[in-house]
Structure 1
Amino acid sequence: MPEPTFADGVLFFPVTPFDARDRPDLDVLATHVSGGVAAGAAGVFAACGTGEYHSLSVGEFGEVVATSVGGVGGRVPVFAGAGGPLGHARETARAAQDAGADGLLVMPPYLVQGPQHGLVAYIEAVAAATELPLVVYHRGNMQLSEATVDRVVTLPSVVGIKDGVGDVALMQRFVLAASRAGRDLQFFNGLLTAELSQAAYRAIGVPLYSSAVFAMAPEIATAFFAAYRDEDEGRQRVLLDEFYVPLVRLRDETPGFAVSLIKAGLRLSGLAVGSVRPPLVDPTPEQEARLQALLERGRELVAR
């Protein structure tokens, strides 16, 4: 199976809309995904963290991935999440392949903390369940050491590593490990609100990043990306100072708001994506009003 490559642009992590009966709303999802690709997404990561992978049954997961693949229509690569309990990870890996995904984002195992060689075995077990290429998510209880990455980058099905830890020096060593192994892997910054840290990641050879803001306000995220691509530090600074930093302050008020605020922003834009599933919670009316003011400010900056 050929390795998918991402175009020049922002990586899009769509939400999973739920209807009034708490079922995935596939029609709304198709609109959301198709609109994001039309807005310039370089790749789509369906049913991952922002898509509430943690809350989906295997059947729901398959529907979400298949709908996302249909909404993309072959325009960019589609990756799907696979992680948690190993049995669930294997089933979702197979479901993603059946649904037409181009690859998998291997997320951390559930709850337990294994040794480093156990983490390699977990990645290998997911790889054995599918023919799809893998991007490994370095985060939480799947934090990889440099020695472990020396092994991971030699696994044939591994095509990339996403960083959710924020240790830039360690990530630099991961990039060097792939180079020593002769592997042209794709590395990207997956920190929350990655725009705040992407300048540092580009300096170590990590040009790609995921953007939660793109899911709810693609015009703001693409404006920042254009300034980043063109090395327009002044425009980046204005967007960071007047939009992204205040958004992070709001996000940090409540656990889980990295997802909840995105859904709230989409509802404010008129897309009926519904609420988040427990244990996540929706913003209060006061928090939602502040989010709306921030989005309005961001759009004013872009229009300027």
Structure 2
Amino acid sequence: MFSGCSTAIITPMKADGAIDEEGLRELVKFQEENGVKTIVPCGSTGESATLSYEEHLQVIKIVVDAAQKAKVMAGAGSNSTSEALELSKAAEDIGADSLLSITPYYNKPTAKGVRLHFEKIAAAIEIPVIVYNIPSRTGMNISADLMLELAKIPGIAGVKEASGNLNQIAKIAALAPKDFCVLSGDDALTLPAMAVGAQGAISVSSNITPAKVVRMIEEMLKGNVQQAREINQELMPLYEALFLETNPIPIKTAMRLAGHPAGPLRLPLCDMDEKNEERLKSVLAQQGLL
């Protein structure tokens, strides 16, 4: 269910800041037509931090309803265990196939607190949970040893690893149960992460070039490393350009420039610096995406 390419989809918005439902449906269709296996709404790329609770569920409902072939992995984490439980149950009731649950951020719990947090969530729902480890946003890293403990919890099915630490990813992939799925959370590290045992990625760049990212990951899964490396090298300028500023500022800008539904960002995220936008536009043109 989890191997292959998953897209951390943007949340398109109208000029007044409301959720662009038709635009989101169009984006889901675009992803499915290009072979993306799983759609991930309400992650960091989907601006979940500035969605209200009602909007969060609205976005998940739209994606679940729009998806005809792809699975839906709904972002449903929080720094409050009770809020994460509420979101998780609601996403399950809506029809999500699995959940992406971020490490509790800001309050920096101990290893025991992290374990109890995920135990409680996994025990409360029937669908699988993917742990989202992204220390750059949460202020703490889930170590390989702690992740291996979490991997033993029934219902914890995998991890989106965005620590940037290949040694950590390799250790988890080598020592976790066979049915525990390791997914890259960094586009630029997807190929090396898969070389050490990851089974795919939850990608930002696949928003705008899904077919190419899908192909690169599939080649790696087949063991065609040279073919995957060639595609990855083609994509490297795009990976860099999409992180010139805080995600999802560049990808949402890129989608707008390429004619896809995107709309404005919500404060405190704001428009790209003009020089960075010009650099991004140049890369998009070189990639044939404009």
Using structure 1 for the length normalisation, give the TM-score.
Answer: 0.84
Q: 2:217 and 2:173 mapped to 1: Cα distance?
A: 22
Paired residue type of 1:127: A
Higher alpha-carbon deviation: 258-267 or 83-92 = 83-92
CA RMSD after TM alignment: 2.3
Question: Relative to 1, partners in 2 of residues 1:221 and 1:145: Cα closer, same or farther, differing over 3 Å?
Answer: closer
Paired residue type of 2:288: R
1:215 to 207, 214, 227: 207
The alpha-carbon deviation at position 79 of structure 1 amounts to: 0.5
Q: For structure 1, which runs of at least 5 residues remain unmatched after alignment? A: none
Q: 1:58 and 1:51 mapped to 2: Cα distance?
A: 14
1:233 to 214, 226, 232: 226
Q: 1:142 and 1:28 mapped to 2: Cα distance?
A: 35
Which residue does 2:143 correspond to in 1? Answer: 145
Q: 2:249 and 2:45 mapped to 1: Cα distance?
A: 9
Which residue does 2:79 correspond to in 1? Answer: 85
Question: Relative to 1, partners in 2 of residues 1:282 and 1:40: Cα closer, same or farther, differing over 3 Å?
Answer: same
The alpha-carbon deviation at position 263 of structure 1 amounts to: 0.9
Higher alpha-carbon deviation: 126-135 or 113-122 = 126-135
Using structure 2 for the length normalisation, give the TM-score.
Answer: 0.88
Which residue does 1:275 correspond to in 2? Answer: 264
Question: Relative to 1, partners in 2 of residues 1:278 and 1:155: Cα closer, same or farther, differing over 3 Å?
Answer: same
Q: For structure 2, which runs of at least 5 residues remain unmatched after alignment? A: none
- Residues 1:116 and 2:111 are matched in the alignment: yes
Tell me, what secondary structure is at the counterpart of 2:176?
helix
Which residue does 2:163 correspond to in 1? Answer: 165
Tell me, what secondary structure is at the counterpart of 1:172?
helix
The alpha-carbon deviation at position 97 of structure 1 amounts to: 1.0
Correspondences of 1:1-304 after superposition (within 5 Å): 5-6=1-2, 9-73=4-68, 75-86=69-80, 87-140=82-135, 141-179=139-177, 183-191=178-186, 194=187, 196-222=188-214, 224-225=216-217, 228=220, 231=224, 233=226, 236-237=229-230, 240=233, 243-245=235-237, 247-248=239-240, 250-254=241-245, 256=246, 258-299=247-288
Q: 1:79 and 1:237 mapped to 2: Cα distance?
A: 29
Count of residues paired in the alignment:
284
Question: Relative to 1, partners in 2 of residues 1:130 and 1:270: Cα closer, same or farther, differing over 3 Å?
Answer: same
Identity of aligned residues (%): 25
Tell me, what secondary structure is at the counterpart of 1:120?
helix
The alpha-carbon deviation at position 134 of structure 1 amounts to: 0.2
Q: Is the 8 A contact 2:64 2:96 kept in 1?
A: yes
Higher relative contact order, chain-length normalized (CA < 8 Å, sep 6+): 2
Q: C-alpha offsets along residues 25-76 of structure 1, whole Å, 9 cap, x if unaligned? A: 1111011112111111021111111111111111101110011011112x12
The alpha-carbon deviation at position 243 of structure 1 amounts to: 4.6
Q: 2:108 and 2:75 mapped to 1: Cα distance?
A: 20
Question: Relative to 1, partners in 2 of residues 1:96 and 1:136: Cα closer, same or farther, differing over 3 Å?
Answer: same
